[in-house]
Amino acid sequence: MDIKACIESGKTALGIEFGSTRIKAVLVAEDSTPIASGGYRWENQYIDDIWTYSLDDIWKGLQTSYAEMAAEVKEKYGITLTKVGSIGFSAMMHGYMAFNKEDKLLVPFRTWRNTITEEAAKKLTEEFNYNIPQRWSIAHLYQAILNKEEHVKDVTFFTTLAGYIHWQLTGEKVLGVGDASGMFPINNETKQYDAAMIEKFNALVAPCGFEWKLEEILPKVLLAGDNAGSLTAEGAKLLDVSGNLESGILVCPPEGDAGTGMAATNSVAKKTGNVSAGTSVFAMIVLEKDLENVHEEIDLVTTPTGELVAMVHCNNCTSDINAWAEVFNQFAKSFDIELERDRLFDTMFEKALEGEPDCGGLMGYNYFSGEPVTGFDAGRPMMMRTPNANFTFANFMRMQLYTAVGALKYGLDILLQKENVKVDKMFGHGGFFKTEGVGQKIMAAAMNAPVTVMETAGEGGAWGIALLALYAKTKAEGETLDDYLNNKVFAGEAGRTVEPNQADVDGFTKFMESYVRALPAEHAAVENF
C-alpha cells in the first residue's frame, strides 16, 4: 500500500518505548515497515540514594519523541498526522510508582536500577518459594513496608512506568502480562497474578492494618491482542501538544522492554531466546517447562502472551565502554583530532577481535551500579592486570566486551548447565550488537551457541511495541502472536548468524574462572573506595 495513503487512512501503528537512555517513537505501516521516528535522550538521576526519573522529564520525553516523529511525517509525506490505527506504550520493566486516591505520586519513581530491597526480596523469595528479584515492584512495596514508610498506608494503586503512561492516556489501570510478570509472579495456567501468592502476601502484611489488599492495588493483567482501552481526549492532548491527534485510537496492552524485545526479535515461541544488550543486559529463553529449582539469579517472567520465560537480568553492560570511549575521544581532541562517534565505537569493538581469547591476563568489572546476579548492592567500575599481563589495546577492548556480559554469562550458566534448558534460536539486539559481527561473536562465545541478529533488530523495543499494537488491531480470529510474527512480519527474514568459535569459547571460559575468583576484589572496592 502507498505509504501516504496508509497514513491518511489510519492504517498505521505507533509504538513508543521509554528506554534507560532514550525514549523512541516509531510509526509503522500496516505491513510493519517503519515510516517515521522521533526520540528524546534522557538519563536517570541519583537523588537521595534513589535512581529515578522525574515526572516532568517523562512527559517532556513522550511529547518530544512524538513531535519529532510527527514532524518527520510532515517533512517526508506532506501530511499532518491526525490519526493512527493503534498505539502501544512500553518501558523499562519493574520499579515502583505508587499513587494515592487523588492519583498523586507518593514517592519519586524508583527504577529497576535500584538495589535497595535486598531484605524484602529475600523474605518474599522464601515466603513464595519463588525468586523475587530486588527490581520487582512487589519487592519495592514490601521493602517500603519493612522500612515503615509513611506513604504505604495511602497507596491505592501502584504500577510500572509503561502502566503509568498508559493509565494517564487511556484512563485504564492495566498491564500486559509480560510487564505484570515483573511486578508480581504470574500463574502459568491462569495467565494472571498467582492467587496463592497474593494470599500469602496479604497474610504477611495483615498485622500492619492497611485498608488495601494487594489484589486491589495491582493493575489488571491483559494478554497481547486484548483491547486495553483507547486514547482519551485528554490523553491525545498529553501526547500531541499541537492538538492535531484525534482521540479514540485503540491502545494495546502496555508492555515492558522484555516483551517488546521478544516481539522485535521474533522470539516468543518455546526454545527461542533473545539477548538485549545496551545500558543493561538481559537474556530471555522461553521455557518448555518449569525450572526444577529456585535460583536467585534467574527471573521468571512471561512473553506478551503469558508463556513462561527464564530471564537473566544484569544492571550493567555498556556504560563502562561508553565511559572509556569518552576518554579516548578526549585524548584525540588533545591532538586536535575529531573522531566521529560511530567510527570510534566501531574501531574499539573491531579491535577487540584482535585480542587474545582470554584477554591476555586483563580483568575488569563494569559495575556502575549494584549487580544482584553476582551479589552486589553497589558497584565500582575497575580494571586489573597482573604485572606480566599482555596489556594491549586489543586485549583491553576484548576484556571490556567480555566483562560487559560477564555477569550475564554467570547467570546463563545456571540455566544452560544446571537446569539443562535447551535453546534452538538465540537473537541479539541493542547497542552491543551495532558493530557488525563483533558483539555477536562475543555473545556466541559466552553462550556457546549461535547468535542471530535480524536486519530489523536495530529498530528496537519501540518497533516491538508497534508490532503488538498492529497485532491488537489487525489479528485474525484465532491467530496467535507467534503465527502473526512468523507469517506477517518476519516471513523470509533469516538475519545474520554467527556460530561460536571453540577458541573463543575456551578463552571466555578461562576469563570467567578468573572473573569469579576475583569478585572479592570488587567487593573490597565497594567497601573501601
Does residue 1 register a pLDDT over 60?
Answer: no
- Do 245 and 62 contact (CB within 8 A), yes or no? no
Q: Residue 322 belongs to what H/E stretch?
A: helix 319-333
Please tell me the predicted confidence (pLDDT) of residue 196.
Answer: 98
Q: How far apart are CA 194 and CA 383, in angstroms?
A: 43
Please tell me the predicted confidence (pLDDT) of residue 251.
Answer: 98
Q: How far apart are CA 134 and CA 342, in angstroms?
A: 35
Please tell me the predicted confidence (pLDDT) of residue 457.
Answer: 60
Does residue 125 register a pLDDT over 60?
Answer: yes
Average pLDDT over residues 323-348: 97
Q: How far apart are CA 22 and CA 36, in angstroms?
A: 16
DSSP 111-161: -TT----HHHHHHHHHHHTS---TTSHHHHHHHHHHTT-GGGGG-SEEE-H
Please tell me the predicted confidence (pLDDT) of residue 455.
Answer: 75
For residue range 429-467, what is the model confidence (pLDDT) as tens digits?
888 999 999 999 999 999 888 999 887 666 678 999 999
The identity of residue 441, as a single letter, is: K
Q: Which residues contact 129 (CB under 8 A, 6 or more apart)?
A: 294
Q: How far apart are CA 529 and CA 477, in angstroms?
A: 60
Please tell me the predicted confidence (pLDDT) of residue 380.
Answer: 97
Does residue 428 register a pLDDT over 60?
Answer: yes
Q: How far apart are CA 263 and CA 17, in angstroms?
A: 13
Please tell me the predicted confidence (pLDDT) of residue 520.
Answer: 98
Residue 51 three-state SS: strand
For residue range 231-265, what is the model confidence (pLDDT) as tens digits?
999 999 999 999 999 999 999 999 999 899 899 88
**Mean pLDDT for the chain overall:** 95
For residue range 81-119, what is the model confidence (pLDDT) as tens digits?
999 999 999 999 999 999 999 999 999 999 998 989 999
**Neighbour tally for 118: CB within 10 Å:** 15
Prediction pTM value: 0.84
3-state secondary structure 417-445: HHCCCCCCEEEEECHHHCCCCHHHHHHHH
Nearest to 229 by CA among 171, 268, 163: 171
Please tell me the predicted confidence (pLDDT) of residue 307.
Answer: 95
Please tell me the predicted confidence (pLDDT) of residue 161.
Answer: 98
Average pLDDT over residues 38-65: 96
Average pLDDT over residues 385-410: 97
Residues 115, 185, 468, 85, CA torsion sign:
negative
Please tell me the predicted confidence (pLDDT) of residue 279.
Answer: 86
SS3 content of the chain, % helix, strand, coil (to 5): 45, 20, 40
- Do 44 and 62 contact (CB within 8 A), yes or no? no
Structural domains in the chain, sorted by start:
1-92+224-264+458-498 (3.30.420.40), 94-159+184-217 (3.30.420.40), 267-453+504-529 (3.30.420.40)
